[in-house]
C-alpha cells in the first residue's frame, strides 16, 4: 500500500473519527473522575455507557423528545454509579468487583429496557435532528455541536471542582484518612463522584446511539480500555499538574487516540485488531515513562 493511498484513506476517515472523538471524550472524562480524582478504580463505565445508549434509544423509539431521552439516560447513568458506590460502601467489596457486578447486572437491564438486544432509530428524530435541523446530517456540524457541548461541560466541571464541594471530593480522593480527620464524609463524596462519572459515561453512550441511529447491549465492550488509553495519552501529552490539565487530558487524549485508530485502519489493520492495538498502545504509553525513570501514579 502506497503512502498516498494511506493518506487518502486517513483523510476520508478523519471526519468520522473526529465526531467519535468528541462523543467518546465524555466517557473518558467519566473514567478519569473515579480513577484520578477519587482514587476509585471502577469498571462501571462498561455498563453505564451502553445503559445510556439503550435508555435514550428506547425512549426515542417510544416517541419521547430526544433531549428528554438524553437527560433520562444521564439520570440512569447516575443511578448506575450510585449503585456501585453503595455496594462498595455497605459491603466493603473491592471497587473493581463492585463495578463488574453492576455492569453484569446492567447487561440484563439493558435488554429489559429495550425489550430486545438492540434498537434502531433510523425512522426517528434524534437530538441532532431536533437541535440542528437540516444541518444535522453534516458530520462537521455534528462535530462542532458536540464540541461546543464538550467545551461547556469541561468548563462547568472546572468550576465545580473548584467549589467547596468539588475540593472536598478531590480531598477524599487524595487521602481518605485525612478527609475523615477534616470531618468530610468519604461515603457521601464517593457517591457524588461515581454518580457524576456515571452521568458523563451515559451521556456519551446516548450521543453515540443517536449519532449512529442504533443502540445495542454490547456497544460498551472495550470502552474502559479506550477511555484509559485516552486518559493516558492526554496525560503524557499535556500533563496533569493542575486541575485544568487533568480535565483537559482525557479530551485531548480522546482526539489523539482516535486519530491513531484512523491511521491504523488506513494502514490496513482490521477493526477486529483494534482491541489488541489499543491494549499494546496503553502498555507502551505507561511503560515508556517507567523505563525512562519517570515515576508516575498508577492508573
How far, in Å, CA of 88 to CA of 99, rounded? 9
Output 10 or 242, whichever has higher pLDDT: 242
Output 3 or 214, whichever has higher pLDDT: 214
290 pLDDT tier (thresholds 50, 70, 90):
low
Task: Say which residue the cell 480522546 belongs to.
Answer: 254
pLDDT, position 89:
94
pLDDT, position 237:
87
CB–CB of 173/48 below 8 Å? Answer: no
pLDDT tens per residue across span 114-131? 999 999 999 899 999 888
Output 285 or 235, whichever has higher pLDDT: 235
Topology of domain 3-291, CATH: ABC transporter involved in vitamin B12 uptake, BtuC (1.10.3470)
Output 295 or 160, whichever has higher pLDDT: 160
Q: What is the DSSP string of 89-141?
A: HHH---HHHHHHHHHHHHHHHHHHHHSSSEEE-TTS--HHHHHHGGGGG-HHH
pLDDT tens per residue across span 197-224? 999 999 999 999 999 999 999 888 888 8
pLDDT, position 225:
84
Q: Where are the domains of the chain?
A: 3-291
298 pLDDT tier (thresholds 50, 70, 90):
low
pLDDT, position 287:
74
CB–CB of 214/118 below 8 Å? Answer: yes
Q: With a cut of 70, say whether residue 136 has pLDDT above it.
A: yes
What's the angle, vertex CA 239, arms to CA 233 and CA 244, rounded to 5?
110
pLDDT, position 295:
53
pLDDT, position 114:
94
CA 289: distance to chain centroid? 25
- Share the mean pLDDT of the chain: 89
CA 152: distance to chain centroid? 16
Within 13 Å of residue 144, how many CA atoms lie on the same side as its CB? 9
Q: How many residues does the chain have?
A: 299
Task: Say which residue the cell 494511506 belongs to.
Answer: 6
CB–CB of 52/215 below 8 Å? Answer: no
How far, in Å, CA of 130 to CA of 124, rounded? 11
Q: With a cut of 70, say whether residue 260 has pLDDT above it.
A: yes
Mean pLDDT across the stretch 28-38?
93
* Residue 44 vs residues 10, 78, 222: alpha-carbon distances, Å: 33, 11, 12
Mean pLDDT across the stretch 28-36?
93
Q: With a cut of 90, say whether residue 77 has pLDDT above it.
A: yes
CB–CB of 172/37 below 8 Å? Answer: no
| The pairing of beta strand 118-120 with beta strand 214-216 | antiparallel
pLDDT tens per residue across span 152-193? 999 999 999 999 999 999 999 988 888 888 888 999 999 999
How far, in Å, CA of 285 to CA of 263, rounded? 17
How far, in Å, CA of 94 to CA of 286, rounded? 24
pLDDT, position 11:
81
Mean pLDDT across the stretch 91-106?
93
Q: With a cut of 90, say whether residue 250 has pLDDT above it.
A: yes
C-alpha cell at 196: 457524576
Output 285 or 30, whichever has higher pLDDT: 30
CA 205: distance to chain centroid? 8
Q: With a cut of 90, say whether residue 249 has pLDDT above it.
A: yes
Output 105 or 260, whichever has higher pLDDT: 105
Amino acid at each position: 500500500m502506497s503512502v498516498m493511498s494511506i493518506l487518502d484513506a486517513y483523510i476520508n476517515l478523519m471526519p468520522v473519527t473526529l465526531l467519535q472523538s468528541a462523543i467518546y471524550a465524555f466517557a473518558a472524562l467519566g473514567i478519569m473522575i473515579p480513577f484520578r480524582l477519587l482514587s476509585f478504580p471502577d469498571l462501571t463505565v462498561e455498563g453505564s455507557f451502553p445503559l445510556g445508549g439503550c435508555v435514550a434509544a428506547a425512549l426515542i423509539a417510544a416517541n419521547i423528545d430526544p433531549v428528554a431521552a438524553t437527560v433520562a439516560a444521564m439520570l440512569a447513568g447516575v443511578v448506575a454509579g450510585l449503585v456501585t458506590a453503595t455496594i462498595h460502601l455497605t459491603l466493603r467489596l473491592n471497587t473493581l468487583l463492585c463495578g463488574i457486578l453492576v455492569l453484569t447486572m446492567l447487561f440484563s437491564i439493558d435488554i429489559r429496557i429495550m425489550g430486545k438486544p438492540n434498537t434502531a432509530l433510523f425512522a426517528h428524530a434524534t437530538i441532532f435532528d431536533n437541535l440542528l435541523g437540516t444541518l444535522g446530517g453534516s458530520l462537521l456540524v455534528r462535530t462542532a455541536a458536540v464540541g461546543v457541548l464538550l467545551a461547556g461541560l469541561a468548563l462547568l466541571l472546572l468550576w465545580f471542582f473548584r467549589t467547596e464541594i468539588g475540593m472536598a471530593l478531590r480531598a477524599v480522593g487524595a487521602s481518605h484518612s485525612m478527609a475523615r480527620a477534616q470531618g468530610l464524609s468519604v461515603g457521601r463524596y464517593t457517591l457524588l463522584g461515581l454518580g457524576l462519572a456515571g452521568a458523563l459515561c451515559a451521556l456519551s453512550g446516548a450521543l453515540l446511539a443517536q449519532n449512529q441511529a442504533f443502540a445495542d447491549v454490547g456497544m460498551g465492550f472495550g470502552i474502559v480500555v479506550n477511555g484509559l488509553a485516552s486518559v493516558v495519552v492526554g496525560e503524557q501529552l499535556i500533563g496533569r499538574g493542575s486541575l485544568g490539565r487533568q480535565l483537559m487530558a482525557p479530551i485531548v487524549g480522546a482526539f489523539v487516540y482516535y486519530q491513531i485508530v484512523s491511521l491504523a485502519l488506513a494502514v490496513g489493520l482490521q477493526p477486529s485488531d483494534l482491541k489488541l492495538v489499543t491494549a499494546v498502545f496503553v502498555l507502551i504509553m505507561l511503560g515508556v515513562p517507567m523505563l525512562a525513570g519517570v515515576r508516575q501514579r498508577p492508573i
